[in-house]
Protein backbone atom coordinates (compact mmCIF):
# COMPACT_ATOMS: atom_id res chain seq x y z
CA UNK A 1 0.00 0.00 0.00
CA UNK A 2 2.78 2.42 0.93
CA UNK A 3 4.52 1.92 -2.42
CA UNK A 4 1.16 2.45 -4.16
CA UNK A 5 0.70 5.72 -2.26
CA UNK A 6 4.11 6.91 -3.42
CA UNK A 7 3.36 6.00 -7.04
CA UNK A 8 -0.04 7.75 -6.84
CA UNK A 9 1.78 11.09 -7.13
CA UNK A 10 3.61 10.08 -10.33
CA UNK A 11 1.22 10.37 -13.33
CA UNK A 12 4.33 10.95 -15.45
CA UNK A 13 5.33 7.33 -14.82
CA UNK A 14 2.03 5.46 -14.75
CA UNK A 15 -0.55 7.62 -16.52
CA UNK A 16 -3.73 9.20 -15.14
CA UNK A 17 -5.95 6.07 -15.17
CA UNK A 18 -3.68 3.98 -12.93
CA UNK A 19 -2.83 6.97 -10.72
CA UNK A 20 -6.53 7.69 -10.10
CA UNK A 21 -6.95 4.14 -8.80
CA UNK A 22 -3.83 4.31 -6.64
CA UNK A 23 -5.09 7.52 -5.02
CA UNK A 24 -7.67 5.39 -3.21
CA UNK A 25 -4.83 3.92 -1.15
CA UNK A 26 -4.27 7.29 0.53
CA UNK A 27 -7.39 7.32 2.68
CA UNK A 28 -9.90 4.85 1.21
CA UNK A 29 -8.71 1.48 2.54
CA UNK A 30 -11.28 -0.99 3.94
CA UNK A 31 -12.18 0.48 7.39
CA UNK A 32 -12.04 -1.29 10.76
CA UNK A 33 -15.32 -1.56 12.68
CA UNK A 34 -16.00 1.19 15.23
CA UNK A 35 -16.31 -1.43 18.00
CA UNK A 36 -12.71 -2.51 17.41
CA UNK A 37 -11.58 1.11 17.20
CA UNK A 38 -13.26 2.01 20.50
CA UNK A 39 -11.65 -1.00 22.17
CA UNK A 40 -8.23 0.07 20.91
CA UNK A 41 -8.77 3.63 22.15
CA UNK A 42 -9.83 2.35 25.61
CA UNK A 43 -6.70 0.19 25.80
CA UNK A 44 -4.39 3.07 24.88
CA UNK A 45 -6.04 5.56 27.26
CA UNK A 46 -6.19 3.05 30.11
CA UNK A 47 -9.83 3.97 30.75
CA UNK A 48 -13.13 4.14 28.82
CA UNK A 49 -12.90 6.70 26.01
CA UNK A 50 -16.15 8.29 27.24
CA UNK A 51 -14.23 9.62 30.26
CA UNK A 52 -12.10 11.79 27.96
CA UNK A 53 -14.32 12.37 24.92
CA UNK A 54 -17.97 13.36 24.85
CA UNK A 55 -18.34 11.73 21.42
CA UNK A 56 -16.47 9.86 18.69
CA UNK A 57 -17.90 9.68 15.18
CA UNK A 58 -18.84 6.19 14.03
CA UNK A 59 -17.78 6.83 10.42
CA UNK A 60 -14.04 7.33 9.85
CA UNK A 61 -12.87 10.45 8.02
CA UNK A 62 -10.06 8.42 6.51
CA UNK A 63 -8.84 4.84 6.48
CA UNK A 64 -5.29 4.33 5.21
CA UNK A 65 -2.67 1.59 5.18
CA UNK A 66 -1.38 2.08 8.72
CA UNK A 67 -4.18 3.81 10.58
CA UNK A 68 -7.77 5.00 10.68
CA UNK A 69 -8.97 8.50 11.67
CA UNK A 70 -12.20 9.43 13.49
CA UNK A 71 -13.56 12.82 14.55
CA UNK A 72 -14.24 13.36 18.24
CA UNK A 73 -15.00 16.01 20.83
CA UNK A 74 -13.07 16.44 24.09
CA UNK A 75 -15.09 16.73 27.28
CA UNK A 76 -12.66 19.37 28.56
CA UNK A 77 -13.24 22.53 26.56
CA UNK A 78 -15.48 20.78 24.02
CA UNK A 79 -12.67 21.00 21.49
CA UNK A 80 -13.01 19.10 18.21
CA UNK A 81 -10.23 16.60 17.64
CA UNK A 82 -9.13 13.88 15.24
CA UNK A 83 -8.20 10.47 16.65
CA UNK A 84 -5.70 8.48 14.61
CA UNK A 85 -5.74 4.81 15.61
CA UNK A 86 -3.18 2.25 14.43
CA UNK A 87 -4.57 -0.79 12.65
CA UNK A 88 -4.34 -3.96 14.77
CA UNK A 89 -1.83 -6.55 13.56
CA UNK A 90 -0.17 -4.12 11.15
CA UNK A 91 3.32 -4.71 12.58
CA UNK A 92 3.16 -8.46 11.93
CA UNK A 93 1.99 -7.91 8.34
CA UNK A 94 4.66 -5.27 7.77
CA UNK A 95 7.47 -7.58 8.91
CA UNK A 96 6.25 -10.29 6.53
CA UNK A 97 5.96 -7.89 3.57
CA UNK A 98 9.40 -6.37 4.17
CA UNK A 99 11.00 -9.82 4.38
CA UNK A 100 9.61 -10.61 0.91
CA UNK A 101 10.66 -7.21 -0.50
CA UNK A 102 14.14 -7.60 1.01
CA UNK A 103 14.60 -11.02 -0.59
CA UNK A 104 13.42 -9.66 -3.96
CA UNK A 105 15.70 -6.59 -3.76
CA UNK A 106 18.79 -8.68 -2.92
CA UNK A 107 18.18 -11.06 -5.82
CA UNK A 108 17.54 -8.24 -8.30
CA UNK A 109 20.68 -6.46 -7.11
CA UNK A 110 22.79 -9.59 -7.52
CA UNK A 111 21.41 -10.70 -10.89
CA UNK A 112 20.82 -7.43 -12.80
CA UNK A 113 23.91 -5.26 -13.23
CA UNK A 114 21.92 -2.32 -14.62
CA UNK A 115 20.07 -2.05 -11.29
CA UNK A 116 23.14 -2.24 -9.05
CA UNK A 117 23.85 1.54 -9.02
CA UNK A 118 20.42 2.03 -7.37
CA UNK A 119 21.39 -0.29 -4.46
CA UNK A 120 17.86 -1.72 -4.07
CA UNK A 121 18.64 -3.56 -0.78
CA UNK A 122 19.55 -0.23 0.86
CA UNK A 123 16.35 1.35 -0.47
CA UNK A 124 14.27 -1.46 1.06
CA UNK A 125 16.15 -1.11 4.37
CA UNK A 126 15.43 2.63 4.42
CA UNK A 127 11.76 1.99 3.58
CA UNK A 128 11.47 -0.51 6.43
CA UNK A 129 13.14 1.85 8.92
CA UNK A 130 10.78 4.65 7.88
CA UNK A 131 7.68 2.46 8.19
CA UNK A 132 8.71 1.22 11.64
CA UNK A 133 9.18 4.86 12.65
CA UNK A 134 5.68 5.66 11.39
CA UNK A 135 4.16 2.84 13.46
CA UNK A 136 5.02 4.64 16.70
CA UNK A 137 2.70 7.65 16.85
CA UNK A 138 4.79 9.20 19.62
CA UNK A 139 7.34 10.02 16.90
CA UNK A 140 4.66 11.79 14.89
CA UNK A 141 3.58 13.81 17.94
CA UNK A 142 7.13 15.02 18.58
CA UNK A 143 7.81 15.70 14.89
CA UNK A 144 4.64 17.83 14.57
CA UNK A 145 5.66 19.88 17.59
CA UNK A 146 9.22 20.37 16.32
CA UNK A 147 7.94 21.57 12.93
CA UNK A 148 5.51 24.05 14.47
CA UNK A 149 8.28 25.40 16.73
CA UNK A 150 10.71 25.85 13.81
CA UNK A 151 8.16 27.02 11.25
CA UNK A 152 8.60 30.70 10.23
CA UNK A 153 5.51 30.64 7.98
CA UNK A 154 2.80 30.04 10.61
CA UNK A 155 0.32 32.32 8.84
CA UNK A 156 0.58 30.22 5.68
CA UNK A 157 1.65 26.66 6.62
CA UNK A 158 1.17 24.63 9.81
CA UNK A 159 0.83 21.16 11.34
CA UNK A 160 -2.10 20.20 13.58
CA UNK A 161 -1.59 20.67 17.32
CA UNK A 162 -1.13 17.28 19.01
CA UNK A 163 -2.42 16.45 22.50
CA UNK A 164 0.69 14.57 23.57
CA UNK A 165 -0.72 13.73 27.01
CA UNK A 166 -3.53 11.75 25.32
CA UNK A 167 -1.35 10.19 22.63
CA UNK A 168 0.60 6.93 22.72
CA UNK A 169 2.37 4.43 20.48
CA UNK A 170 -0.92 3.39 18.83
CA UNK A 171 -3.14 6.47 19.36
CA UNK A 172 -2.64 10.06 18.22
CA UNK A 173 -5.05 12.79 19.34
CA UNK A 174 -4.74 16.09 17.49
CA UNK A 175 -6.78 19.15 16.66
CA UNK A 176 -9.36 18.61 13.93
CA UNK A 177 -8.65 20.84 10.93
CA UNK A 178 -11.52 21.72 8.62
CA UNK A 179 -10.48 21.82 4.99
CA UNK A 180 -10.16 19.96 1.71
CA UNK A 181 -7.49 17.96 -0.06
CA UNK A 182 -5.01 20.12 -1.96
CA UNK A 183 -5.49 18.22 -5.23
CA UNK A 184 -9.31 18.42 -5.05
CA UNK A 185 -9.76 22.11 -4.26
CA UNK A 186 -11.87 23.82 -6.92
CA UNK A 187 -10.03 27.13 -7.07
CA UNK A 188 -8.64 29.46 -9.70
CA UNK A 189 -5.26 28.67 -11.22
CA UNK A 190 -3.86 31.85 -9.67
CA UNK A 191 -4.86 30.78 -6.15
CA UNK A 192 -3.49 27.27 -6.69
CA UNK A 193 -0.16 28.74 -7.80
CA UNK A 194 -0.05 30.96 -4.70
CA UNK A 195 -0.64 27.95 -2.43
CA UNK A 196 1.99 25.93 -4.31
CA UNK A 197 4.51 28.73 -3.75
CA UNK A 198 3.70 28.77 -0.02
CA UNK A 199 4.19 25.04 0.22
CA UNK A 200 7.34 25.14 -1.90
CA UNK A 201 8.98 27.84 0.21
CA UNK A 202 8.11 25.93 3.38
CA UNK A 203 9.64 22.70 2.03
CA UNK A 204 12.77 24.52 0.90
CA UNK A 205 13.10 26.03 4.39
CA UNK A 206 12.57 22.66 6.07
CA UNK A 207 15.15 20.89 3.92
CA UNK A 208 17.83 23.53 3.39
CA UNK A 209 17.65 25.73 6.49
CA UNK A 210 16.44 23.48 9.32
CA UNK A 211 17.56 20.16 7.85
CA UNK A 212 14.38 18.62 9.31
CA UNK A 213 11.55 17.99 6.88
CA UNK A 214 8.30 16.19 6.13
CA UNK A 215 9.37 13.11 4.14
CA UNK A 216 5.97 12.02 2.81
CA UNK A 217 4.22 15.13 1.40
CA UNK A 218 1.94 13.41 -1.14
CA UNK A 219 -1.40 15.19 -1.83
CA UNK A 220 -3.25 13.01 0.69
CA UNK A 221 -1.09 14.53 3.45
CA UNK A 222 -1.66 18.15 2.40
CA UNK A 223 -4.89 19.83 3.46
CA UNK A 224 -6.06 23.35 2.62
CA UNK A 225 -7.72 24.64 5.79
CA UNK A 226 -10.92 26.67 5.82
CA UNK A 227 -8.87 29.82 6.49
CA UNK A 228 -6.75 29.24 3.37
CA UNK A 229 -3.59 27.85 5.00
CA UNK A 230 -1.72 24.68 4.05
CA UNK A 231 -1.93 22.03 6.74
CA UNK A 232 0.76 19.33 6.58
CA UNK A 233 -0.57 16.05 7.98
CA UNK A 234 1.07 12.76 8.96
CA UNK A 235 4.45 13.65 10.45
CA UNK A 236 5.31 10.02 11.16
CA UNK A 237 8.02 10.01 8.50
CA UNK A 238 10.58 12.82 8.53
CA UNK A 239 14.06 13.35 7.14
CA UNK A 240 17.17 14.85 8.72
CA UNK A 241 20.11 16.42 6.90
CA UNK A 242 23.51 17.33 8.31
CA UNK A 243 25.00 20.75 7.67
CA UNK A 244 27.36 19.30 5.04
CA UNK A 245 24.46 17.59 3.25
CA UNK A 246 22.51 20.86 3.17
CA UNK A 247 25.49 22.69 1.68
CA UNK A 248 25.84 20.09 -1.07
CA UNK A 249 22.13 20.26 -1.84
CA UNK A 250 22.22 24.06 -1.99
CA UNK A 251 25.14 23.84 -4.44
CA UNK A 252 23.15 21.37 -6.51
CA UNK A 253 20.12 23.67 -6.72
CA UNK A 254 22.27 26.73 -7.44
CA UNK A 255 23.89 24.86 -10.32
CA UNK A 256 20.46 23.97 -11.73
CA UNK A 257 19.30 27.61 -11.57
CA UNK A 258 22.48 28.80 -13.28
CA UNK A 259 22.33 25.86 -15.74
CA UNK A 260 25.93 25.02 -14.86
CA UNK A 261 26.32 21.41 -16.03
CA UNK A 262 30.01 21.18 -15.05
CA UNK A 263 29.24 22.21 -11.45
CA UNK A 264 26.37 19.73 -11.34
CA UNK A 265 28.81 16.96 -12.26
CA UNK A 266 31.22 18.07 -9.50
CA UNK A 267 28.45 18.11 -6.90
CA UNK A 268 27.13 14.77 -8.11
CA UNK A 269 30.62 13.32 -7.70
CA UNK A 270 30.60 14.47 -4.06
CA UNK A 271 27.26 12.75 -3.46
CA UNK A 272 28.40 9.64 -5.33
CA UNK A 273 31.79 9.22 -3.63
CA UNK A 274 30.92 5.88 -1.95
CA UNK A 275 29.29 4.42 -5.06
CA UNK A 276 30.78 2.91 -8.25
CA UNK A 277 32.46 5.51 -10.54
CA UNK A 278 30.49 7.08 -13.37
CA UNK A 279 31.44 8.32 -16.82
CA UNK A 280 31.66 12.05 -16.00
CA UNK A 281 31.91 13.19 -19.61
CA UNK A 282 28.77 11.31 -20.57
CA UNK A 283 27.05 12.54 -17.40
CA UNK A 284 27.84 16.18 -18.23
CA UNK A 285 26.47 15.75 -21.78
CA UNK A 286 23.22 14.24 -20.45
CA UNK A 287 22.86 16.90 -17.74
CA UNK A 288 23.38 19.63 -20.34
CA UNK A 289 20.66 18.05 -22.48
CA UNK A 290 18.21 18.06 -19.53
CA UNK A 291 19.05 21.66 -18.57
CA UNK A 292 18.57 22.82 -22.17
CA UNK A 293 15.12 21.21 -22.23
CA UNK A 294 13.87 22.15 -18.76
CA UNK A 295 16.09 24.93 -17.39
CA UNK A 296 13.83 27.75 -18.59
CA UNK A 297 10.78 26.08 -17.04
CA UNK A 298 12.57 25.94 -13.70
CA UNK A 299 13.37 29.65 -13.83
CA UNK A 300 9.77 30.52 -14.68
CA UNK A 301 8.47 28.45 -11.77
CA UNK A 302 11.04 29.96 -9.46
CA UNK A 303 9.90 33.47 -10.39
CA UNK A 304 6.43 32.64 -9.03
CA UNK A 305 7.62 32.43 -5.43
CA UNK A 306 10.49 32.95 -3.01
CA UNK A 307 11.94 29.43 -3.18
CA UNK A 308 15.42 30.84 -3.83
CA UNK A 309 15.67 32.59 -0.45
CA UNK A 310 16.37 29.47 1.66
CA UNK A 311 18.85 28.24 -0.95
CA UNK A 312 20.68 31.56 -1.01
CA UNK A 313 20.85 31.71 2.80
CA UNK A 314 22.43 28.25 2.97
CA UNK A 315 24.98 29.16 0.26
CA UNK A 316 25.87 32.28 2.27
CA UNK A 317 26.20 30.17 5.43
CA UNK A 318 28.51 27.74 3.63
CA UNK A 319 30.67 30.56 2.23
CA UNK A 320 31.15 32.02 5.72
CA UNK A 321 32.16 28.70 7.25
CA UNK A 322 34.29 27.16 4.49
CA UNK A 323 37.65 28.85 3.69
Which positions are annotated as active-site residues?
Answer: 216
Q: Are 205 and 214 in contact (CB under 8 A)?
A: no
268: left (phi over 0), alpha (psi -120 to 50) or beta: alpha
In the beta sheet, which residues pair with residue 212?
240
CA end-to-end span of the chain: 48
Distance (Å, whole) CA 89 – CA 304? 46
Q: How far is CA 85 from CA 60, 69, 302, 319, in A?
A: 10, 6, 39, 47
Distance (Å, whole) CA 205 – CA 308? 10
Q: Is 232 in a helix, a strand, or coil?
A: strand
Residue 134, Cβ density class (10 Å: 0-12 exposed, 13-18 middle, ≥19 buried): buried
Residue 301: other Cβ atoms inside 10 A: 14
Q: Are 232 and 157 in contact (CB under 8 A)?
A: yes
Amino acid sequence: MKIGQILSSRPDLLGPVIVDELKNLRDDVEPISVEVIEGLIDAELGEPWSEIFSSINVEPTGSASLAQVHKGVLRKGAKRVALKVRRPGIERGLNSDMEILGWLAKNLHRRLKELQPYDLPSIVEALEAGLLQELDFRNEAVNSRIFNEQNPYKEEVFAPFVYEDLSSKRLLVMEHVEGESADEADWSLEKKKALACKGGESMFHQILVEGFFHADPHPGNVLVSSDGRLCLLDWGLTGQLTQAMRWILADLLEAVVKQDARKLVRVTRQINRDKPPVDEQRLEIEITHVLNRHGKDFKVNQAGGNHARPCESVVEERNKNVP
